[in-house]
Every structure is written in structure tokens, then in C-alpha cells.
């Protein structure tokens, strides 16, 4: 119940912040940016499914049936999901390096990505630490939500937002990779379907919030910071792979 309460509280806080600046149809922080409530439908529905799945016997049965169906076709576990979770947002920097420019320059897109990662990472870790959902492989009690999936969908939405005006297919490819990451989390017996659904919703919503608050963050924190440099480095602690970001300004 603590986990559900935290998720509901997080959702109410998000809606409360939006509500402080809302017009009947959208939210506007400047002349060039509007946030439409319709953008919340998909991520909110995914998160709601995951939350309901914690208590609903019907959705728990779907979790079990999905696990059994996937297990029937498992030959060997693969670790591609440890890397694919990062590929979606790294693609934005790779495309820019290749000369295919997105919506924002290095400084702005890095601020947006850092904001999204902070929102997503904090939300996922708080829920995991306060929850008690046993993983399908019965190793730990921090199954809900899927952090790998949240990271992948955060990056997919980031890729979509940066390149939707260039070609929608960049975003489509990002979401396909993110969906694949979620599938392999279930394939490797690390997460239930409801964990993956909630992770996807948190990831998407985190990026949408990051874009919405970007003008405010840039104005208040980075107002006089013209130069922003950073590096992304791989991390391995002997058991898990990850990425570290260092930003100087």
C-alpha cells in the first residue's frame, strides 16, 4: 500500500503543478511551448495498469500467463537489455554528431535529458525501495517498476521530441527499441508485465515533464551559463552495467 500511495502522490503532485498554469485546453509557459493534457493519457494509463496490477488478481494472472508463455520459448538468457536501455537517448547525441540536427543544441538537450533522468530515476528508486514486489526469478523484492524499461522509454520519448520535426521514424525506431528492452526484461525473468507497463509510463511521463519545465530551469538555473560541457561514461560494478553522466558549466 505504501507503493501505491507514493505513486498516487506523485501523480497528484504532477497534476497540481500543471494545474497552477493551466488554461482549459493546455498549459503554456511561454509563447513557443504548450503542454496538452492529451499528452498525459498514454503514460498515465500505463502507470495505472501497473499500479492496479499490484492488487488485481486478473492482472496478476496475466503476469503469470505472460511469464509462462515466454518461458516456454526461452533457450538462453541474453543481456542486450542492459545496453539497449541507454541506446535510445544516446542516439540523439549520435545523430547530432553525424550532422543530423535535432530540435535543441547540446546545452539545452543535455539539460532536458538530465532533468528527465533525475525525475525518472528518483521516482523508480523511491518506489523500488519502499515496495515489496518479488521478481519473477525470486531473487529480490524490488521488481516494481522496471527501471530498465523506464530508462528506455524515457530515451525513446526524448528521441521522438528531438527529431519528430525531422522524421517521425526516428521516434518510432526509439519506441521499438524501448519495447524490445521491456520484452527482454520479461524474457530474462526479471520483471512482470505490469512492472514493464509502469516503467514505460514513468519513462515517457518523466521526459514530457522535463520538456515542459525546461524553459523555467534554463531561466532560473542556467540563465548566465553559456557553456555547458559533459561526458557520458560506462560504469560496471562487477554485477551491473550502467552509464554515468558528468556535466560542467
111-150 pLDDT, tens digit per residue, is: 999 999 999 999 999 999 998 999 999 999 999 999 999 9
Rounded CA-CA distance 14/248 in Å is 29
Alpha helical stretches, state H, the chain: 2-19, 41-52, 57-71, 81-97, 106-130, 147-163, 168-187, 193-220
Tell me the three state secondary structure of residue 26.
strand
Residue 248 CA to its chain's centroid (Å): 24
d(CA 145, CA 168): 28
List Cβ neighbours of 188 (8 Å cut-off, separation of 6 or more).
77, 78, 79, 81
pLDDT tens-digit series, residues 33-58: 556 778 899 999 999 999 999 999 99
Among the listed ranges 69-83, 97-111, 113-127, 193-207, which one has the minimum average pLDDT value? 69-83
Considering only CA atoms, which of 22, 47, 35 is closest in space to residue 202? Answer: 47
Q: At what angle do helices 168-187 and 193-220 cross, to 10 degrees?
A: 140
Q: Do residues 234 and 241 make contact, with C-beta atoms less than 8 angstroms apart?
A: yes
User: Mean pLDDT across the stretch 59-76?
Assistant: 87
| Residue 88 and residue 158 in contact, taking contact as beta carbons nearer than 8 Å | yes
How far, in whole angstroms, is CA 199 from its chain's centroid?
7
Backbone φ, ψ for residue 86 (5° rounding):
-95, -20
Q: What is the mean pLDDT of residues 190-203?
A: 97
- H-helix or E-strand spanning residue 235: strand 229-236
- Note the pLDDT of residue 161: 96
Question: Distances from the Cα of 55 to the Cαs of 51, 141, 248, in angstroms?
Answer: 8, 16, 44
Residue for grid cell 522524421? 167
Amino acid at each position: 500500500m505504501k507503493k501505491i500511495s507514493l505513486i498516487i502522490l506523485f501523480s497528484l503532485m504532477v497534476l497540481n503543478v500543471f494545474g497552477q498554469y493551466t488554461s482549459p485546453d493546455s498549459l503554456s509557459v511561454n509563447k513557443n511551448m504548450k503542454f496538452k493534457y492529451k499528452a498525459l493519457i498514454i503514460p498515465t494509463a500505463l502507470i495505472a495498469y501497473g499500479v492496479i496490477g499490484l492488487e488485481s488478481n486478473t492482472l496478476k494472472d496475466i503476469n503469470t500467463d505472460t511469464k509462462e508463455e515466454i518461458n516456454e520459448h526461452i533457450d538462453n538468457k541474453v543481456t542486450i537489455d542492459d545496453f539497449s536501455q541507454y541506446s535510445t537517448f544516446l542516439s540523439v547525441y549520435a545523430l547530432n554528431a553525424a550532422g543530423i540536427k535535432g530540435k535543441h543544441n547540446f546545452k539545452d538537450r543535455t539539460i532536458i535529458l538530465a532533468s528527465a533522468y533525475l525525475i525518472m530515476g528518483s521516482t523508480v528508486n523511491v518506489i523500488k525501495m519502499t515496495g515489496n514486489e518479488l521478481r519473477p526469478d525470486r531473487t529480490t523484492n524490488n521488481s516494481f517498476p522496471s527501471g530498465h524499461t523506464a530508462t528506455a522509454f524515457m530515451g525513446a520519448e526524448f528521441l521522438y521530441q528531438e527529431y519528430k520535426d525531422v522524421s517521425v521514424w526516428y521516434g518510432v525506431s526509439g519506441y521499438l527499441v524501448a519495447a524490445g528492452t521491456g520484452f527482454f526484461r520479461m524474457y530474462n525473468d526479471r520483471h512482470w508485465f505490469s512492472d514493464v507497463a509502469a516503467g514505460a509510463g514513468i519513462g515517457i511521463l518523466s521526459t514530457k515533464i522535463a520538456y515542459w519545465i525546461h524553459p523555467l530551469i534554463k531561466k532560473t538555473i542556467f540563465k548566465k551559463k553559456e557553456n555547458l560541457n559533459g561526458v557520458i561514461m560506462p560504469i560496471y560494478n562487477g554485477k551491473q552495467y550502467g552509464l554515468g553522466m558528468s556535466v560542467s558549466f
